Structure 1
């Protein structure tokens, strides 16, 4: 097993050491303090039709109407300057009615200026915070962005006007992730119209996510076939992935949380294989080692593949409950990681060096993160992983997982690259940038949740 870097320490876990249950050492730097996302001051000037975001499966529009606030000419001019330069953020100045704002500024303070400036500012907040792309153009996007509740439009406007810092307040809404800044730099240097559109679309995809992704998280870019473990915005280790085939089994985009690491998992064989492919009847006639068959009262069969190196989930599965039944797991078919095109699964994400990842998460997920507790957690994780017994290790510290879809961005080596649009998800995003801006956008998708069944035996 290859080594990996955590903090400044390079840690190697040879396969022989894993087999002998030796513990990886010096995995983590001291735990940094948790920094919560900065919220704008309380005292919203918004009228909100619903108090909480809708579930990810409903197409509910959160009707938020910012109250018109009083603007002076200096603040309005600062807003006009932001709009004039908003192309730097990949947005179109025309979306924010600059001519109407300039006319109101020329007329001086009053109701017309208050209305024009409040409207333009509110639209800028929505697009910088949530993304300009309407939900119907975000195919298989099942993430509900929390930022609209953390940075409420009326509060942001009140803060900007109270501090006379319109430009800085709006700039603070940009995604914190360094990859956004890399795309922004590329946009400034690129003159090709097609490339500029693609960069703008991928800048917007960062806005679809939470501004603050957390101190430690997993993020996988499906078209890149790579998974990153990130701590304090630094990539700690990377893993090749195998993702869903195009079509019905394409991997959706999610933001979930790892609740546990399952070592030596079982696999409940889908009925499409048990009944549809006759596996259940075949096992009743000729039992095979590694499979347990249970006959139900109604005559149906439940087939569970037992833990072991040939198990279809491999030796590790991340427990991350979600309505799609998507998770990250190992695979016995590790030779497939050598293929260039790895869109091969039925939706779930298979991960190389899965035991290494599982042990690392077991350590990172330890609340009492001292050198002693880290070593104890590592010792226990290695022992469990080599026991051959089904064991679930809970993750106590938050470990978000972001399943994303970027067709342009930094690769695992830090180089800006374009990735194949394997699911054809670029076209509707690009088309939405050519269309007029959509107001009162839904915060959650109306697409049906497709429960993915990873029929691993078929690949």
Structure 2
């Protein structure tokens, strides 16, 4: 294990600073010509071989990297083969191996692996450079420790899958963020690596899965209107509004003609509104939000996959207030009391991560890890 001092000294050679606003993972910084081939010394090859041997501890198969083939090679052929192995391992460490589930939608950008490799080999620190690409989150370390003691094949596979998902996540989650683990049916507010709040959640049904992705919470809307997504409107609601507008109006639904001659449906704020009384704004391309619900009895169930994809949060007022500046927190209760629709900006904004992890730390478990139900079957799809 590299010391923190060495890691801190080497990190600037590997990565450029990520844009603060986006809070993306840092990306390898040095550019290299596409045909540039690092020249590997015997010591560099030895470091690579050691790194490949260690991949088993990360839940990967050392045989996938065929470092043994380098023994019979020399010169440019060996350089090219070693670079190919190192680049594959760098990819698998930094963004995960294999194919993810279709609804795992985290964007890790476009790392410059060749530039990273050129600098790592030039500095003769390939082993350290590869180690740098792994997650540093304590949860990953717990899974890694559990895997080292695991003897049950199915459990070992689940742990390996979830270690790989951690490798697909951004490396810097931030000091304060909202963490939604779909198989746990839970929304947590993390502050300084501690759980400041924990809320029961209702997630998407198996037919309308909640996707896994990252966004930024920009504010809170109290007494929101609901702009019904076309996918839901087409599922019978639009026809009902057209056929019997008065009956649907009693539920708060109104049909609105759009400028292009189309038709969309909105639901007024009120006790029947599907978003409840509070909506947490988090711009994204999937029409997914954290929000309240009028169907609060569903939180009493153990398995809570009932929504069209959005995340319903128990006691959302407490979470919403924590996401706002202290001076604005009373505004939530005031707007709830008045019934007015009001959006309150969040400053500073908070990152939110919706993840799908079927193995997570549990101090009460023998190996420190509990296995959750594979609600959407994503574990079965992992390759």
Question: Secondary structure, in 3 states, of the residue corresponding to 1:230?
Answer: strand
Structure 1 residue 267: deviation in Å?
A: 2.1
For the aligned residue pairs, the C-alpha RMSD in angstroms reads 2.9
Larger RCO (CA within 8 A; separation ≥ 6): 1
Change in 2 beyond 3 A, CA 1:338/1:131: same
From 342, 356, 359, give the equivalent of 1:408. Answer: 359
**Residue of structure 2 equivalent to 1:62:** none
Question: Secondary structure, in 3 states, of the residue corresponding to 1:143?
Answer: coil
What do residues 251-283 of structure 1 show as CA deviations (whole Å, max 9, x unaligned)? Answer: 12222222221111122455345433x245444
**Residue of structure 1 equivalent to 2:122:** 162
What do residues 142-167 of structure 1 show as CA deviations (whole Å, max 9, x unaligned)? Answer: 22113x43xx2123223322333222
**Residue of structure 1 equivalent to 2:200:** 240
Higher helix share: 2
**Residue of structure 2 equivalent to 1:252:** 211
Alignment of 1:378-389 (within 5 A): 378-389=329-340
Structure 1 distance, partners of 2:253, 2:67, is: 68
Change in 2 beyond 3 A, CA 1:197/1:343: same
Conserved in 2, the CA contact under 8 Å of 1:280 and 1:293? no
**Residue of structure 1 equivalent to 2:381:** 428
Conserved in 2, the CA contact under 8 Å of 1:218 and 1:402? yes
Corresponding residue pairs, total: 357
Structure 2 distance, partners of 1:42, 1:255, is: 23
Answer with 319-328 or 182-191: which moved more.
319-328
**Residue of structure 2 equivalent to 1:339:** 301
Structure 1 residue 217: deviation in Å?
A: 1.7
From 89, 98, 101, give the equivalent of 1:133. Answer: 98
Conserved in 2, the CA contact under 8 Å of 1:244 and 1:348? yes
What do residues 153-192 of structure 1 show as CA deviations (whole Å, max 9, x unaligned)? Answer: 1232233223332222111111132211111001101122
Alignment of 1:56-455 (within 5 A): 67-104=36-73, 110-134=75-99, 137-146=100-109, 148-149=110-111, 152-247=112-207, 249-269=208-228, 271=233, 272-276=235-239, 278-279=240-241, 281-284=243-246, 288=250, 291=252, 293=254, 296=257, 304-363=266-325, 374=326, 376-410=327-361, 416-429=369-382, 432=383
TM-score (normalizing by structure 2): 0.84
Change in 2 beyond 3 A, CA 1:201/1:311: same
Structure 2 distance, partners of 1:418, 1:392, is: 39
Structure 1 residue 92: deviation in Å?
A: 1.0
Structure 1 distance, partners of 2:147, 2:359, is: 11
What do residues 345-375 of structure 1 show as CA deviations (whole Å, max 9, x unaligned)? Answer: 1111100010111111113xxxxxxxxxx3x
Conserved in 2, the CA contact under 8 Å of 1:280 and 1:302? no
The answer to whether 1:43 aligns with 2:44 is no
Structure 1 distance, partners of 2:284, 2:189, is: 20
Alignment of 1:7-22 (within 5 A): none
Structure 2 distance, partners of 1:158, 1:398, is: 37
Change in 2 beyond 3 A, CA 1:219/1:198: same
Structure 1 residue 411: deviation in Å?
A: 5.3
Structure 2 residue runs of 5 or longer lacking an equivalent are: 1-19
What do residues 209-232 of structure 1 show as CA deviations (whole Å, max 9, x unaligned)? Answer: 111122322121111101111123
Structure 1 residue runs of 5 or longer lacking an equivalent are: 1-32, 48-65, 364-373, 433-459
Question: Secondary structure, in 3 states, of the residue corresponding to 2:323?
Answer: helix
Answer with 385-394 or 72-81: which moved more.
385-394
Structure 2 distance, partners of 1:292, 1:84, is: 61
**Residue of structure 2 equivalent to 1:439:** none
What do residues 272-321 of structure 1 show as CA deviations (whole Å, max 9, x unaligned)? Answer: 45433x24544426963x62635649998765433233322111112222
Structure 1 residue 42: deviation in Å?
A: 4.1
Conserved in 2, the CA contact under 8 Å of 1:220 and 1:404? yes
Structure 2 distance, partners of 1:282, 1:40, is: 55
